[in-house]
C-alpha cells in the first residue's frame, strides 16, 4: 500500500491536544490536495480526529478552521492552480474558502476511537504518559487492520518499548513534531529495533510532502531534542539552588532566565521555555527518562515543588501563556516566582534593577535574538558577541560562559552516547526545533 492510498483514511488520536491539533492541520491539507486531484474525484477521503470529550472537539473545530484559513492564505499560488478549472472561483478569498470547506469536509470529529478501524495510517499524539499510550496502542491494534501503520508523537518514550508492550510487531515509528507543528520545521524520526522498511519509507516520504526537516535520532529515551532540553533545564534549575541563598529563589530564576536569553542570544529564557512547554510536561519528561535511562539525577526538587503547588505553566485554551516560573502580563514575562515565599516578584521593582547592574555593570547592549534572526552576518556577529563575553569577566558573562560550556557538553554527550549520529544532528535539532541561532556544539567556547 503506498502513501497516497494510506492517506485516504487517517486517524489522529489525541487530536485536540497541542500537538495533535497541529498534526491534524498538516495531515488534512495533504489529504485535501490529494482529494482535489482529478483522478481522485470519486474516492472517499476521511481524516478521523479523535479525542476524549465533545468539549475539546469543539475547540478543535474552531482551531482547524482558523489554521486551515491561515494555511490556505499562505499557499494561494498553488491553490489557484488546483482550482484552475473551477470557473466560479475567481478571487483569492473565494479560492481560500473553497479549500477550507473542501478540507473541512474530510474531517470526522469523534470521541470514539473505534472509528480508526478503516484507517491505514494512525498518528498517536496523546499526553506523554506511557501507561496510557500503551493501552491506547494495544486497543488500536485490536481495532485496526494488520497493515495499519502507527506514528507516535512521543517526545521521550523509547519506540521499541512501546512496540513491544503494545505488540505492534514493528508497525510503529517515532514521529516527534515540535510545538507548534504547523510552524516548526523539525520532525525527529525514531525507528524501533524492528520498525518495518515500509513504515520507514512512509515516514520519510510523508515528511518530505510536509516539507519538514526530518532528523533521525536513536531510540534512546529523550532522543536528541528533549535529551538536550531536559539536561539544559536541569542545569539551570540546579544553578538556581546554588544562587538562591544570595538572591532568593526569584532572583536566582531571574538571573538564569535572563542570562540564557540575553547573554546566550536565545529566543526565550530557559524558564520561559519550560513555562511554554509546561512544567507538567517537563516533569513527566524527566520521569520517563529517569525510568528508561536509570539515571536518578534526572530530577529536580525545585520543579517538583512548583508542581506540588500546581503552578504548571502551559497555555490557556485561547493560546495565552499561563503563569509558571514566570508571571505573564499580555503574554510577556512580567515577574518571577519565589517558591519559599509563595509570591511573584515583579520585574519593574528595585531588586531586578540591582541584579541587572550586577550581571551587566557596563550596560553592554547585546543584539537580541530577533534582530539577528534574519541577519546574513549573524554567525560573524555571534562570534564577536561571544568573543566579547570572554573578555568581559563580569558576573553575568561568567554565568553565561559556564552555561554555554555545559550546553556544549550536553550536546557532545548525546553524540558520545549514540543518541545522535553526529554533531550535525544535535545542532540541526536545536536550531530547527528550538529556533536557536547556533548549534550547542560550536567553537564559541
Tell me which residues touch other proteins (CB under 8 A): 73, 76-77, 80, 87, 90-93, 96
- Smallest gap from residue 80 Cβ to other proteins (A): 6
Give the integer Cα–Cα distance in Å for 69 and 73: 6
C-alpha cell at 108: 470526522
Pairing of strands 172-177, 149-152: parallel
Give the integer Cα–Cα distance in Å for 228 and 427: 10
Nearer to other proteins, 29 or 257 (CB): 29
Nearer to other proteins, 61 or 70 (CB): 70
Nearer to other proteins, 76 or 413 (CB): 76
For 267-331, where are the E strands, in sequence order?
A: 326-329
Residue labelled with grid coordinates 502513501: 3
- Smallest gap from residue 85 Cβ to other proteins (A): 10
DSSP conformation class of 435: -
The helix/strand/coil state of 386 is helix
Give the integer Cα–Cα distance in Å for 368 and 267: 8
Backbone angles phi, psi at 340, to 5 degrees: -70, -40
- Smallest gap from residue 94 Cβ to other proteins (A): 9
Give the integer Cα–Cα distance in Å for 413 and 400: 20
Nearer to other proteins, 81 or 146 (CB): 81
Nearer to other proteins, 41 or 87 (CB): 87
Cβ 141 vs Cβ 119: under 8 Å:
no
- Smallest gap from residue 277 Cβ to other proteins (A): 26
Nearer to other proteins, 78 or 105 (CB): 78
- Smallest gap from residue 371 Cβ to other proteins (A): 11
DSSP conformation class of 302: H
Cβ 123 vs Cβ 11: under 8 Å:
yes
- Radius of gyration over every alpha carbon of the chain, rounded to an integer in angstroms: 23
- Smallest gap from residue 75 Cβ to other proteins (A): 9
Residue 426 burial class via C-beta count within 10 angstroms: exposed 0-12, middle 13-18, buried 19 and up: buried
Residues 6 or more apart whose CB falls under 8 angstroms from that of 202 comprise: 3, 6, 121, 149
Nearer to other proteins, 211 or 294 (CB): 211
Nearer to other proteins, 91 or 296 (CB): 91
- Smallest gap from residue 97 Cβ to other proteins (A): 11
- Smallest gap from residue 319 Cβ to other proteins (A): 14
Amino acid at each position: 500500500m503506498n502513501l497516497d492510498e494510506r492517506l485516504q483514511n487517517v486517524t489522529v488520536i489525541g487530536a485536540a491536544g497541542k500537538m495533535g491539533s497541529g498534526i491534524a492541520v498538516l495531515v488534512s491539507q495533504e489529504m485535501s490536495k490529494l482529494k482535489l486531484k482529478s483522478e481522485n474525484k470519486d474516492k472517499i477521503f476521511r481524516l478521523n480526529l479523535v479525542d476524549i470529550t465533545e468539549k475539546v472537539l469543539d475547540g478543535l473545530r474552531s482551531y482547524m478552521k482558523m489554521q486551515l484559513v491561515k494555511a490556505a492564505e499562505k499557499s494561494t499560488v498553488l491553490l489557484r492552480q488546483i482550482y484552475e478549472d473551477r470557473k466560479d472561483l475567481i478571487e483569492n478569498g473565494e479560492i481560500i474558502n473553497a479549500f477550507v470547506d473542501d478540507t473541512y469536509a474530510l474531517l470526522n470529529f469523534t470521541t470514539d476511537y473505534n472509528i480508526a478501524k478503516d484507517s491505514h495510517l494512525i498518528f498517536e499524539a496523546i499526553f506523554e504518559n506511557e501507561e496510557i499510550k500503551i493501552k491506547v496502542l494495544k486497543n488500536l491494534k485490536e481495532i485496526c487492520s494488520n497493515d495499519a501503520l502507527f506514528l507516535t508523537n512521543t517526545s521521550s518514550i523509547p519506540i521499541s518499548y512501546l512496540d513491544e508492550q503494545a505488540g505492534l510487531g514493528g508497525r510503529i515509528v517515532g514521529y516527534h513534531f515540535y510545538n507548534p507543528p504547523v510552524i516548526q520545521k523539525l520532525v525527529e524520526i525514531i525507528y524501533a529495533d524492528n520498525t518495518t522498511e515500509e513504515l520507514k519509507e512512509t515516514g520519510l516520504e510523508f515528511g518530505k510532502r510536509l516539507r519538514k526537516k526530518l532528523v533521525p535520532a536513536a531510540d534512546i529515551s529523550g532522543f536528541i531534542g528533549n535529551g538536550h532540553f531536559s539536561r539544559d533545564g536541569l542545569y539551570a534549575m540546579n544553578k538556581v539552588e546554588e544562587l538562591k541563598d544570595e538572591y532568593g529563589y526569584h532572583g536566582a530564576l531571574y538571573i538564569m532566565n535572563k542570562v540564557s536569553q540575553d547573554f546566550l542570544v536565545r529566543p526565550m529564557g530557559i524558564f520561559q521555555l519550560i513555562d511554554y512547554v509546561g512544567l507538567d510536561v517537563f516533569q513527566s519528561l524527566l520521569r520517563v527518562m529517569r525510568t528508561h535511562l536509570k539515571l536518578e539525577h534526572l530530577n529536580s526538587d525545585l520543579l517538583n515543588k512548583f508542581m506540588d503547588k500546581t503552578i504548571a505553566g502551559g497555555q490557556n485554551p485561547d493560546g495565552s501563556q499561563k503563569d509558571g516560573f514566570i508571571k505573564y502580563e499580555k503574554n510577556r514575562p512580567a515577574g518571577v516566582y519565589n517558591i519559599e515565599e509563595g509570591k511573584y516578584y515583579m520585574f519593574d521593582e528595585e531588586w531586578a534593577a540591582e541584579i541587572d547592574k550586577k550581571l551587566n555593570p557596563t550596560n553592554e547592549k547585546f543584539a537580541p535574538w530577533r534582530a539577528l534572526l534574519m541577519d546574513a552576518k549573524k554567525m560573524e556577529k555571534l562570534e564577536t558577541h561571544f568573543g566579547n563575553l570572554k573578555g568581559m569577566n563580569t558576573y553575568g558573562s561568567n554565568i553565561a560562559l559556564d552555561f554555554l560550556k555545559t550546553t556544549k557538553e550536553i550536546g557532545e554527550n548525546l553524540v558520545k552516547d549514540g543518541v545522535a549520529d553526529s554533531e550535525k544532528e544535535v545542532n540541526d535539532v536545536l536550531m530547527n526545533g528550538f529556533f536557536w541561532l547556533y548549534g550547542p556544539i560550536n567553537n564559541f567556547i
